[in-house]
Homo-oligomer: A and B are copies of this chain.
């Protein structure tokens, strides 16, 4: 082979928290296997930490701990910088410095890739280096590499993911154990599946960041996070989950991207998913990405979307690819720099199928008046459940056919004003059966 192999590859680690520790553990445990696969010994020589005196259970004594970022970033002996500190600053500046100093970069930083991806790819291209980011989405599940390489023969039509473990855990517990939202959230926090401040997860912002990264690759477009419509799961109730069950659905927080002739459609919202859809059986903290390619058809990738070792598995796979590329002199192949910025279709012009739960006076003609308003707005109904709630109040659950969002919400405004309607309890989008 016409390649010059470096017998040792030196790695600088930025951050030694959950993921950084996992990276260190994997490189120690599977050292011999990885050396056989890459033809090089992989050594973490330095790790940037806040507090070098802290007790660290899996610490490799050969690793020099330092609080001085530039001693890692500019060390001429280091080949690859692994950034697992998270957050925008100073991670962004550190990666820029590392690229300037001729390092390849592996990052697990979702926020940074979603918000500053283009800037980082540009910097990598300018310095003729690569940036790898498999671990930024979906933890250990291979997603970036399969979309980039395994599906390279396809035009991807749509991607749909359960890519936030916190909300999936909560919704699974609400479904399986009929726990209400607050109890399920408290349990998720107790088990470490939800943060003390779970706002970003519950409101779909975390999933939107991940969708931005995935949709960008799938549709070869620079996606702006602000173009992704998000809806929270906090309004979901056990009542909705039980009605959904009766109608043949489970409720999941889906991140959805589609490429249509009008442009990209990008959104994150709670969704009624048909029980026989592969995403319906993705439970608890597990994640999955379901996609449709023009050649491959339906495909799903399932696994652990977070956690120390799963995420570190993706980081180390990237490190191994970086080593391979160093050996073969593949300095820069950022296909991301060739992406256009495709137009995004606003939600109001999207078509969706809706579940509506409302309370009405239990009197003759109520259902007829609701159906008439929908009919006038060209919203046709697919399924109806009516149950008496108490002596005077009836609960009506409807599922529409696919309709233009704008028409639907106009009709809903008029329904709210009907005398016979007490309130609209919830509105949830419904995934059309395949």
Contact = CB atoms under 8 A, between A and B. Distances in A.
Q: Which of A281, A295, A301, A330 has the most CB of B within 10 A?
A: A295
A149 B317 contact: yes
Contacts of A150: 134, 142, 145-146, 314, 317
B296 A151 contact: no
A219 to B, nearest CB: 11
Contact of A30 (B26, B154, B307, B330): B154
A329 B2 contact: yes
A296 to B, nearest CB: 4
Interface in A330-348: 330-333, 335, 338
A142 B293 CA distance: 13
A250 to B, nearest CB: 12
Given A278-B281, A329-B328, A304 B312 contact: no
Given A30-B155, A152-B37, A303 B307 contact: no
Interface in A314-331: 314-317, 319-321, 324, 328-331
Contacts of A295: 22, 26, 30, 140, 309-310, 312-313, 316
A29 interface: yes
A36 interface: yes
Contacts of A128: 1
A321 B149 contact: yes
Contacts of A310: 295-297
Q: Which of A153, A154, A299, A309 has the most CB of B within 10 A?
A: A153
A70 B298 CA distance: 38
Contacts of A431: none
Contact of A153 (B146, B154, B276, B316): B316
A281 to B, nearest CB: 4
9 contacts: A26-B154, A26-B295, A30-B294, A140-B297, A153-B312, A278-B282, A296-B304, A302-B302, A328-B329
